[in-house]
Amino acid sequence: MSSLIKSNILDYPIFIGENIFPELENFLEKYSSKKIFILVDENTGKHCLPLLIARIKFLKSAKILKIKSGEKRKNIKICKTLWDKLIFSNADRNSLLINLGGGVITDLGGFTASTFKRGIGFIHLPTTLLSMVDASIGGKTAVNLDNIKNQIGIFGNPKAIFINPAFLITLDKRELISGYAEIIKHALICDKEYLKTLKSTGVKDADWNFIIKKSVEIKSKIVKLDPKENNIRKALNFGHTIGHAFESYSLENDKNPLLHGEAIAAGMICEAYLSAKILKLKEKELNEIISVISPVFRQYKNFEIKRLIELMHFDKKNVNKKINFTLIPEIGKYKIDNEIEENLISESLNFYKNLPQRR
Ligand SMILES: NC(=O)c1ccc[n+]([C@@H]2O[C@H](COP(=O)([O-])OP(=O)(O)OC[C@H]3O[C@@H](n4cnc5c(N)ncnc54)[C@H](O)[C@@H]3O)[C@@H](O)[C@H]2O)c1
Ligand SMILES: [Zn+2]
C-alpha cells in the first residue's frame, strides 16, 4: 500500500497517493446534501469514472457531464452547454463540480465552475501525468478562442486536488511521456538532485508517487510566490518559448502533430543551448540535459527555422517585439526575462536539428 501525501503549500490541500479515496469521501461529506456534478470526457468516463464510483458509492447519484475528448472541446460553446446543464439540473452556489480528467477537463471545468453564478466550488481529480504535475496546479483556468489557446480565462482555485497515480494505468504511453517533459523541466529549473533521480530511473522504472509529489511541490512553491505570473512564475516557461513555436508549427504541418510535452522537450534542448551561450551554462550540463531528454523523446527534424521564429513573435510573453526567454545558468537554477536576438535563436534551432538521433 502506498502512503498518502498531503501538500499544504497552496491555499487548498493537495492529496497524492493511491489511498486518496477516504480523504475524498471525507471531503465530500459536507456536500452530501448538495448537488454534485462530475465532468468527464469519453476516455475518463470510461476508464476513471467507474473506479471513482466503485470507491465512493454515493457518487452514483451525482450528475455526470460528459464531453468528447480533445483540445478542440476546450471552447466557449462547450462551456455554454455545461452552464445550460447546470441550470437545468438546478445547480446553485452550494453545488460542487468534480473535474475528472486531463488538462482539458481541469481547465474547462475550472473555468465553467469559476464563472457559473459568479463561481461555484470545484475540485480536480487529474488523470493524465501532465494534469497531475502541471495543469491542475496553480489556479489558471481557461478555454481557447477559435484556435488561439487559453485566450478566455480566469484565475480560480479549486477547493482541493486529489491525485491518484493509479489513473495513469490506462493512459496512452505517448501521453504519459508528454507529461514527463514538464517533470524534467521542474528538475532543470529547481532541483539538480531531482534530475539525477529522473535520469537513474527513466520513465520505465519511475516512482510516480515520489515524482508527482516532488513536481507538485516545485510548481506549488513557485505559484505561491507569484500566483498571477508577474515575475517568478515565468520560471515555468523554460523550454516553452521555442517549444510553443514547435507545437504550433507541427499543428500547421504534420498529420500526426507533436504533443505539448514533445514540443517542450525539443524547446528545452534549444533553450539549454541558449543558456550555454548567454548565461554560461556549462557544456557538461548542456550535454547532461540532452542525455536525459534524447532517449525519451522523438527528435523533431522537419522544420523551417524562419517560420518557427515568426511563430515565436506571436508569443504573449514577448514585449516590444523582442523574444523573451526563461533560461538556466546551471541545472537547478533559473533566470527569467532574457531577450535574445533572432540569429542566436536560429543557431540554437540548428544545433538541435543537427544532434545525432539517440532514441
Ligand atoms: N492551467 C494550467 O496551468 C495548464 C498547464 C499546462 C497545460 N494546461 C492545459 O492542459 C491541456 C492538456 O492536458 P492533457 O495533456 O492532460 O490533455 P487531455 O486532457 O486532452 O488528455 C489527453 C488524452 O488522454 C485521455 N485521458 C485522460 N486521462 C486518461 C486516463 N487516465 N486513461 C486513459 N485516457 C485518459 C483524454 O481523454 C485525452 O484523450 C491543454 O489544454 C493545456 O492548455 C493547463
Ligand atoms: Zn507546458
Burial of 284 per CB tally in 10 Å (0-12, 13-18, 19+): exposed
Percent of the chain beyond pLDDT 70? 97
- Give the pLDDT score at 322: 78
- The per-residue pLDDT for range 29-48, each reduced to its tens digit, is 999 889 999 999 999 999 99
Of 75, 102, 110, nearest in space to 261 by CA: 102
> Amino acid identity of 131?
S
The C-alpha cell of 283 is what?
A: 557544456
Phi first, then psi, for residue 306 (nearest 5°) are -60, -45
Architecture of domain 5-170: 3-Layer(aba) Sandwich (3.40)
Rounded to whole angstroms, the Cα distance separating 77 from 82 reads 9
Nearest atom in ligand 1 to the alpha carbon of residue 110 is 1
Which residue from 18, 38, 42, 43 has its CB within 8 A of the most atoms of ligand 1, so it is best to mutate?
Answer: 43
Name the maximum alpha-carbon separation found in the chain.
62
Beta carbons within 8 Å of 178's beta carbon, 6+ residues apart: 129, 130, 259, 260, 261, 262
Number of the ligand closest to the Cα of 110: 1
- Give the pLDDT score at 359: 57
- pLDDT at residue 149 is higher than 70: yes
**Phi-psi sector, 139: left (phi>0), alpha (psi -120 to 50), beta:** left
pLDDT tier, 320 (very low <50, low <70, confident <90, very high otherwise):
low
261 Cα–ligand 2 center, Å: 6
Beta carbons within 8 Å of 181's beta carbon, 6+ residues apart: 239, 260, 261, 262, 264, 265, 268, 293, 297
Rounded to whole angstroms, the Cα distance separating 304 from 246 reads 10
- pLDDT at residue 358 is higher than 90: no
Ligand 1 binding pocket includes 171 (Cβ within 6 Å): yes
Mean pLDDT over 160-189 rounds to 98
- The per-residue pLDDT for range 183-216, each reduced to its tens digit, is 999 999 999 999 999 999 999 999 999 999 999 9
Residue keyed to cell 522523438:
298
Number of the ligand closest to the Cα of 107: 1
Of 1, 25, 17, 228, nearest in space to 123 by CA: 25
**Which CATH code for domain 173-353?**
1.20.1090.10
**Spans of all domains in the chain:** 5-170, 173-353
107 Cα–ligand 1 center, Å: 9
pLDDT tier, 131 (very low <50, low <70, confident <90, very high otherwise):
very high
- pLDDT at residue 88 is higher than 90: yes
Do residues 249 and 306 make contact, with C-beta atoms less than 8 angstroms apart?
no
- pLDDT at residue 65 is higher than 70: yes
